[in-house]
Structure 1
Amino acid sequence: MLNGLDIEGDSPLHLMPVRGKLVLLFAAAIGLFIVSDLRILVPALGLSAILYLSTGIGFREALRRVRFVLFTVLLVAAANYAFHSLHEALVVFCRLSALVLLAAAVTATTSISAFMDEITRLLTPLERFGFVRAADVSLAVGLVIRFVPEIFARYGEITDAHRARGLPVRPLTTLVPLIILTLKDADTIAMAIDARGFRRH
């Protein structure tokens, strides 16, 4: 099993409390979606990239973690260029890319257990009114963060197996087995959670 997405370090983001990072990320998301001026969004994207790299993660690893999401952002920007304008495409690309890099920076500097503890504390008031069960929500978030590296590792194994057999790497031939394996893992994890009584049925 792979480790989580967090890395050790002493950067300012590492030293910041989890709640402060989540509030900062939430405020940045609101600000990025309010602003449409490229004179602000382009520097914001550059600042997000600098903040992400300041966590101590290597450039190659940093790119590997976000390349798939950034490729998706690029497709969204291309669609906006096709149906709207170049300005709109650049705005969407800068806005979403900056948000992706900020989220990756927060994830890289926060352990899964810290995420889960903070989410549990934040949702406890809602649990008192019966809206949610804080432990279940924090467990779900922790599992998502924890198994993102596993999914990427499985994708790499599938593509390597295709290349070893001389088969072309195509989205359909890689995504289908990836989805099947991920669903099987999800069933196994769900049964293990229920067997240990971590959540209510």
Structure 2
Amino acid sequence: MLTSLYVEGRGPLHRVTAGTKLAGLAIAGVVLFFVTQLWLLAVFLFLAALAYLTAGLSIREALRRIAPTLWSLLFLLAVNLFLLPMQDAAVLGLRILALVFAAAAVTATTPLAEMMAVVDRVARPLEKLNLLRPGDAGLTFGLCLRFVPDILSRYEALREAHRARGLKVRVLTLLGPLIILTLKQADEVASAIDARGLRGASKPFPSSERHSS
């Protein structure tokens, strides 16, 4: 069963509307792209981490949620140290890390349904141009977010299964079955969505109707 990243609470971020938080996250991503001062990036990182910790999670659980991203970022930083000057590598690392904490704060304090509604409103012009089916953008966004904790829990289950059998846990060993299980569940979810008509599967695009005629 797919789970959610949302954490019940009454913190400051919980009281902010979903549209405001998503817009702020998008603006922060654009602004940080132009920021190169290490001290300013460190300040933003501190504020983003502080906002994330006010979501109602313990420090251990908060770090566990973003652990795969942190490991990937550490690997990226190590590679960049060989390719870029240390200053540039540090700027890139702080920039991405700050956005990771900011995004984690938003997803932890915003119900998924509210974020999907915001995405649907933003994508409405594309729907009017027949580039998207109504509701597809929000549904796709919601499924992506819901699969994140599900993939993490499946990875933990595979790792524990290897340990129980006395096998050495290697990321490359777990990657194969993890991908297969994820694709299998994605196919099941897609079949369930089409069976319930949530994507309007029986309603083709107007353009396809014109072509068929």
Same fold (TM over 0.5): yes
Does residue 172 of the first structure (1) align with residue 181 of the second (2)?
no
Deviation of 1:146 after TM superposition, in Å, equals 1.4
Give the structure 2 partner of residue 28 of structure 1.
28
- Describe how 1:10-21 pairs up with structure 2 within 5 A: 10-21=10-21
Give the structure 2 partner of residue 185 of structure 1.
185
Give the superposed CA RMSD: 1.2
Deviation of 1:171 after TM superposition, in Å, equals 1.6
- Describe how 1:29-108 pairs up with structure 2 within 5 A: 29-108=29-108
How many aligned residue pairs are there? 201
Provide structure 1 residue ranges, at least 5 long, that are not aligned to the other structure: none
Deviation of 1:125 after TM superposition, in Å, equals 2.5
Q: Report the Cα distance in structure 2 between the residues aligned to 1:72 and 1:108, rounded to whole angstroms.
A: 21
8 Å Cα contact 2:44-2:98 kept in structure 1: yes
Deviation of 1:73 after TM superposition, in Å, equals 1.1
Q: Report the Cα distance in structure 2 between the residues aligned to 1:182 and 1:3, rounded to whole angstroms.
A: 14
Give the structure 2 partner of residue 147 of structure 1.
147
Which one-letter code corresponds to 1:83 in the other structure? L
Q: What is the aligned-residue identity percentage?
A: 47
Give the structure 1 partner of residue 124 of structure 2.
124
Deviation of 1:197 after TM superposition, in Å, equals 1.1
Q: Report the Cα distance in structure 2 between the residues aligned to 1:20 and 1:125, rounded to whole angstroms.
A: 20
Deviation of 1:200 after TM superposition, in Å, equals 3.8
Deviations 1:65-86 (Å, cap 9, x if unpaired)? 1111011111111111111121
Deviation of 1:89 after TM superposition, in Å, equals 1.5
8 Å Cα contact 2:127-2:133 kept in structure 1: yes
Structure 1 residue ranges (4+ consecutive) displaced by more than 6 angstroms after TM superposition: none
Deviation of 1:130 after TM superposition, in Å, equals 1.8
In our comparison, the structure showing a higher alpha carbon Rg is 2
SS class of match (2:172): helix
Give the structure 1 partner of residue 210 of structure 2.
none
* TM-score, normalised with respect to structure 2: 0.90
